Amino acid sequence: MTHHPAFELLRDEHIAEANSQAQLFRHKKTGAEVLSLVNDDENKVFGITFKTPPDDSTGVAHILEHSVLCGSRKYPVKKPFVELLKGSMHTFLNAMTFPDKTAYPVASQNLKDFYNLVDVYLDAVFFPLISEDTFRQEGWHYELEDVDAPLVYKGVVFNEMKGAFSSPDAVMRDLAQRSLYPDTTYGKSSGGDPKAIPDLTYQKFKRFHETFYHPSNTRAFFSGDDDATQRLAILDEYFTQFEPIEVDAEIKLQPRFNAPRQIVATYAGNKDEEKARDGMVSVNWMIDPPGDRIEALSHGMLSYLLVGNPAAPLRKKLTESGLGEGMTGSGIGQGLRQPMATFGLKGVDPADGEKVEALILATLEEIAGQGFPQDQLEAAVNTFEFSLRENNSGSYPRGMTYMFAALNGWLHGGDPLRQLAFEGALSELKRKASEGHFEREIRRLLLENTHRTTVMLSADPEQGARETAREVEILAGVRAGMDEAAVRATISETERLKALQEAVDDPQQLAKIPMLTLEDLPRETRKVPVEIGNLADTRIFSHDLPTLGIVYLDLGFDLHVLDRELLPYLPLFGRALLQTGTSKEDFVSLTQRIGRATGGIAQHRGLSAKQGSDGSAAWFFLSGKAVPDKLGEMLAIMGDVLLDARLDNRERFRQLALEEKAGFEARLVPSGNAIADTRLKSGFTEASWVAEQMGGVSYLQFLRALVKRIDSDWPSVEAALLRIRDTLFQRGHMVVNVTADGVLLSRARGELDGFLGGLPNGTPPMTDWSVQFQPRSEGLIIPAQVNYVGKGANLRALGFSMTGASSVVLKFLNTTYLWDKIRVQGGAYGGASRFDLTSGNFTFLSYRDPNLLKTLDAYDGAAKALRTEIGQGDLTRSIIGVIGDVDSYEFPDAKGYSSMWRQLTGTTDEIRQQRRDEILGASAADFRAMADAVEAVTRQGHVVVVGGEAAIKTANEQRPGLLEVSKVM
């Protein structure tokens, strides 16, 4: 295979595990390295990565990651990144800051679109404008609106990290890492500590780019079915404009500790009123870089063996100890040069911190001494091997998994190809597993390793107020140091920056951003092959798709047979099916049996409005995947799980309930926008009300009460669980969904016939949930320094009938007006609108938002913005972006599931085609129609805010009666 003369070919190998021809190149002039994978993946991936080790916690690498995408030499507009979000068919488009690197990956199934994305990203990273105004907007700046207003900090990253550090889990992760690497770049907060971000100067920001964003410090990556020679030509066009330089970006090694260390710290949070269970404990180790692929795989498998599933011995011992409510820590990671291992508990009494540490060490000693049972080793090896071979990356393009795997060694001078091949290493590891390898590794990596820290974290109810007061004090000091001229200058600078943020890009400059045309878009909706039939009196959907010899199976049960008071039990009921054992085996044996025979069995729920109905599609699913020879065993396991789970296992169910509660509480701060959205929509439609019962604030309240009832009234809890099983798992309202290669489908049907015959054949009546919708405006208080602001209504209930073109309008609204008002000017990390055509639900939402009332005012101005005449270029970009969303890439198993779900919600191919036609035909009239609907939301919509107590209180003082206030945490 010939290659571009500007590059030196270093390696050329076929990597069977990635089904790719892998070529490693070095750019002759600059030394840039390029890994090029040629394969048959239509979802093409490009990524460019730089080593970016920060030397402080000002967030310089993170702020720069935001800023380079705000205009470049070739594309001198305010937000080319947003224009791509609006008008590209990308399957991935983002950038990521890590502790030691910054990566810029893109992906698309459309070749022309892919090349467009690559060009914009290359120009962005190598020739960004990064003006001081961009630095202020994305990083931080002082804002002063008039002489009587307080001086405040603003900045997208500043507020993003305020939100991040409002999460106790994020505080623990940051402290754990920093504790292990005090003398290296890993001892800094690469995302930025809000207390340190204002120390960053524009000059240092610029120097950071000049130092690290250079081809001599580049790792570039391609994967997919595009032309390999063209890849190099595109890169050389940029690389050749630079002269080689020496870049000192080496990640220094942390010297080893002679003895373990202990760190005691606090986070801003409320004390548990009933018991002191607000603590978190994490025991952490720094381990040596893996010497070869076997050792790298060994780290991952050992992590799985210890904590990778509920029956893993260390995880089981911790969760059964009664010392905490759920696991914290991620096991053994692979992202750092010197990897980090971390295990711990949350929901701990701070007084028990040392007990948790002692339990972890004692359990590791016990495992190392007794060894892993053979069944557990076989289950772990099978699960690990299945995952490696399937390489199902879900919503991520598969090529991105290859890129980040390669970077693990490549970034630090290692062999990137070694990270992609695994057959030889896996075979050797399987041999060593039965010879005590993992027991020896526990001793070598953990027990005999003195480079260990124990971090103990507890809630301090005064910390948030102290931090706020300290920030106010600092700002007051800055304000006091300003003379009259400085005050006027700051006000003028605030006004000037806002004017720049509101300014419209020059249409001629905007037109330089490459884009597809409407003629490039496929007119027909993609269809998934489906055969609908009956088997053992059960409806079955079959999808003939290339699944690499894996059978994917979904068993669905209609939740409408359950009484409404049973719905909140469903998440825990589903977990209990797989994590309590059966009458024949405990849950450890069951978990190992699943691991030995399958690629995994999982439970989940599907919820949606139905086409042409006020009702809902509400289903419980048990899903599994297996190779054909193990399909019978997988079905046997599923049968045992459905009909024989130990729902009477009180102690195990209590552990699950505590884990579920702790997990939900941990999500409140980082996922406040989802909480607000769920709560807001629960007053509009049946499906949304059900979602709130099983995943919103109402569910959290149910969990808290349930934890007490398990101790005080277990018989009623057990009776509810048994009632769900006896009512739900009957064939009368069941569906089966099978996705596999054609030859496997008939074999699967034969196995399924016997399995279905063993299930109860009843047809319980459908129940009437009789939901009385009562939308309310609420302020839900959490211990956070940022807010998540929602406002919405059901457009159908307000008398509006929308079409598929509404998604084009909202694509434009989200990437123009709301992006500018909420993120750029408001300083929030994000803001957008959502609309579901099937239900009619419409919501505005913001994310990590320093504002509340200003955000609501911005929402109320959206209708006016939509009435501004839209240009043809903006309209075309928005259409292209929506078609890209509609045609998002899916792996075969996801295609099969999506096809089934459309059947259950009544979304026919004819409806899909009609909506596609409406999208492609969107016009200015659709913008006017949506403007009218959004204006109705302004007048009649309801508000839900998840945020800090002070912000919610102030909002109610300024607009009395705006929010009904309640404390969630």
Structure tokens at 870: 């839209």
Which amino acid would we find at residue 29?
K
For 55-167, where are the alpha helices, taking DSSP H only?
60-67, 80-87, 111-126, 132-138, 156-164
* Residue whose pair of structure tokens reads 């800090």 in the numeric block: 948
Q: Which residues pair with 514 in a beta bridge?
A: none
Nearest to 541 by CA among 733, 738, 731: 738
d(CA 332, CA 329): 9
| 173-188 residues labelled b (16+ CB within 10 A) or e (exposed) | bbbbbbbbbeebbbbb
What value does the CA radius of gyration of the chain take, rounded to a whole number of Å? Answer: 28
Catalytic residue among 33, 83, 138, 143: 138
How would you class 325 by CB atoms within 10 Å of its CB: exposed for 0-12, middle for 13-18, buried for 19 or more? buried
Q: Which residues pair with 555 in a beta bridge?
A: 622, 736
DSSP state of 420: T
Looking at the chain, the number of H-run helices and the number of E-run strands are 36, 27
For 606-683, where are the alpha helices, taking DSSP H only?
631-644, 650-667, 672-681
Nearest to 852 by CA among 725, 937, 932, 955: 955
* CB 245 within 8 Å of CB 214: yes
Nearest to 837 by CA among 522, 605, 528, 612: 612
Q: Is 65 considered catalytic here? A: yes
Catalytic residue among 17, 33, 42, 65: 65
Structure tokens at 814: 């989200």
Neighbours of 6 (CB within 10 A): 17
Structure tokens at 368: 């190392």
| 640-679 residues labelled b (16+ CB within 10 A) or e (exposed) | bbbbbbbbebbebbbbbbbbbbbbbbbbbbbbbbbbbbbb
CA 347 to chain centre: 23
Nearest to 21 by CA among 291, 315, 417: 417
Q: Is 237 considered catalytic here? A: no
d(CA 332, CA 307): 10
* CB 90 within 8 Å of CB 117: yes
Is residue 402 classed as helix, strand or coil in its secondary structure? helix
Angle between helices 313-320 and 293-307 (to 10 degrees): 30
Do β-strands 33-38 and 218-224 pair in parallel, antiparallel, or remain unpaired? Answer: parallel
DSSP state of 711: H
Do β-strands 7-15 and 141-143 pair in parallel, antiparallel, or remain unpaired? Answer: unpaired
Neighbours of 734 (CB within 10 A): 23
Q: Residues with catalytic annotation?
A: 65, 138
